[in-house]
Amino acid sequence: MRSTVTRELRPGDGTGSTGRRRLRAVAWGVAGVVVLGFFVALEILARRYGERGPLTNQAREVVFAPKSGTVLYAGLAMTMVVLTWRQRLLALGAAVGVDLVFWCIRSLAGAQMMVGNGALLATLACAVVAVTRRTGAERALLLKGVGLALLLVTGRKTGDTWLLITWKTRPRVLDQYVAVADHALGSPSWLVGRMVEASGTVGAHVLDWVYVQLAVAAVVVALYQMRHVSAERRFPRHHIVRTFLVIGLLGPAVYMLYPVVGPVYAYGAEGGAWAVADLWPHTGVPVGVPHTMPFDEITPRNCMPSLHTAWATAIFLHSRRGPLVLRCVGALWLVATLGATLGFGYHYGADIVAGVVFTLTIETGLRTYDRGWDRAGVRLVLHGTAVFTALLLAYRYLSLPMARHPWVYGPAVLLATASVMYGYVRTTRRWRREDEGGPGTTPVRVPRPRREVPLPAGARRADPGELVP
């Protein structure tokens, strides 16, 4: 009989493993060149408008007061996940020591007081150590940690440059269309705005802190996901930083296609003479034929979709596999972020719905890519893209019918969003079952043991090669 041979298929086994590693290295190289070219293009574009670009602003923070010390220390924390505890203490101590020196110099010179230079210098020092003192896989691992940190801190500068481009290149906005279409969802920004106003200064301060410190919650989730990097010497296949960066990269491109400033500017006191009227949050927008409207050159067109909602949704999704405390933090951060974006008048309800669909589609796309373009994942990405596109087109060209027939279009918008949510939950659950069942192994056939029947005394068993009548 031919025996059944069972072996586990590991990702590196086989003659093609070297070729796959080379292709992966080439892909990383191409991605690095594309990212660098993107930053250089943004730098050149910002210079055309008389402003500094993301690379220049980031380089200035080596010496000058940074815009956000919290983000720089969050980036250093991303780098430290690949270090040992002794190396982490050395890096953190060096960062704090440098910041103390800068603090003393700035206080004596009367300059702007801010911390974070030490964190950036410590991160750059790790890159120097990787190039000069590490080799092979250890060098690649440390450079990957430094790269994630620099992408995290530079991503914020990139967002600022994108916002500059939106208000310089999009003088007219589409707020009237979104405000009219928002009647189908009950104009939630007006409702939540009155609720936040009634909560007083305490509620407003809490929501403002959550809104501003969104990156801190993301770093907490990322550190949990990467807690084993130092021991295993590899990063997890998928983590929240990837989703955050892709959201920040693609979101501003939609701003250019669909410029919106938000209700507090278009219909509130913050808009000044450019506002349609001072309506938000006590008086609803009347239903009428919408038009594009000019707006100033200093207010970002950064509403459609709501990227704060998108990032908070990503935090919620990535916290689901963590402990109870982390899951509660993810849920509370999502709820508080929704309250802040609507309650402060930064977004319409239509922006929130688009932001959720936007995140679920991106998250599915990243995980589908990791799984070799799984067919169910590809279908869900196409479905999410179609729903997101349909939402934008409906807000633009069907806003008046949406306002006049809210009981038809409102449920339709929510059902379309729910279909993407249901597809995401169903697909990821199937993926989780496959992962827990060992998708990298071939099914093993274990033959049932044959029951031996006792023979009478003096009898013998027949040889398998004999013909027994």
Q: Write out the two tokens for 38.
A: 């993107």
- The pLDDT score that the predictor gives to residue 136 is 87
Q: Which residue has the tokens 């929704």?
A: 338
251 and 308 Cβ atoms separated by less than 8 Å: no
Closest to 403 (Cα-Cα) out of 234, 289, 309 = 289
> With the C-alpha atoms ordered 311, 312, 317, 322, is the resulting torsion angle positive or negative?
positive
Neighbours of 285 (CB within 10 A): 24
pLDDT class for 201, splitting at 50, 70, 90? confident
For residues 121-150, give the mean pLDDT: 91
- The pLDDT score that the predictor gives to residue 98 is 94
Percent helix, strand and coil across the chain, each to the nearest 5:
70, 0, 30
* 251 vs 362: CA distance, rounded Å: 11
**Residue 465: is its pLDDT beyond 80?**
no
pLDDT class for 230, splitting at 50, 70, 90? confident
Q: What is the mean pLDDT of the chain?
A: 86
**Residue 468: is its pLDDT beyond 50?**
no
For 388-409, what is the HEC assignment?
Answer: HHHHHHHHHHCHHHHHHCHHHH
For the chain, what is the HEC assignment?
Answer: CCCCCCCECCCCCCCCHHHHHHHHHHHHHHHHHHHHHHHHHHHHHHHHCCCCCHHHHHHHCCCCCCCCHHHHHHHHHHHHCCCCHHHHHHHHHHHHHHHHHHHHHHHHHCCCCCCCHHHHHHHHHHHHHHHHHCCHHHHHHHHHHHHHHHHHHHHHHHHHHHHHHHHHHCCEECHHHHHHHHHHHCCHHHHHHHHHHHHHHHHHHHHHHHHHCHHHHHHHHHHHHCCCHHHHCCCCCCCHHHHHHHHHHHHHHHHHHCCCCCHHHHCCHHHHHHCCCCCCCCCCCCCCCCCCEECCCCCCCCCCCCHHHHHHHHHHHHCCCCCHHHHHHHHHHHHHHHHHHHHCCCCCHHHHHHHHHHHHHHHHHHHHHHCCCCHHHHHHHHHHHHHHHHHHHHHHHCHHHHHHCHHHHHHHHHHHHHHHHHHHHHHHHHHHHHHHCCCCECCCCCCCCCCCCCCCCCCCCCCCCCCCC
**Residue 216: is its pLDDT beyond 90?**
no
* 411 vs 418: CA distance, rounded Å: 10
Q: For 66-96, write each residue's pLDDT tens digit.
A: 888 888 998 899 899 999 999 999 999 999 9
* CA terminus-to-terminus distance, the chain: 21
Return the SS3 of 345: coil
Return the SS3 of 299: coil
Q: Write out the two tokens for 385.
A: 């893209």
For residues 372-387, give the mean pLDDT: 94
123 and 158 Cβ atoms separated by less than 8 Å: no
For residues 12-36, give the mean pLDDT: 67
Closest to 182 (Cα-Cα) out of 102, 267, 244 = 267
User: Which amino acid is residue 43, in one-letter code?
Assistant: E
- The pLDDT score that the predictor gives to residue 438 is 52
Predicted TM-score (pTM) of this structure: 0.83
Q: Which residue has the tokens 């274990």?
A: 446
- The pLDDT score that the predictor gives to residue 457 is 55
* 227 vs 244: CA distance, rounded Å: 18
For residue 319, give Cα distances in angstroms to 43, 221, 322, 333.
35, 6, 5, 11
* 59 vs 322: CA distance, rounded Å: 36
Q: For 445-459, write each residue's pLDDT tens digit.
A: 444 554 455 555 555
- The pLDDT score that the predictor gives to residue 34 is 80
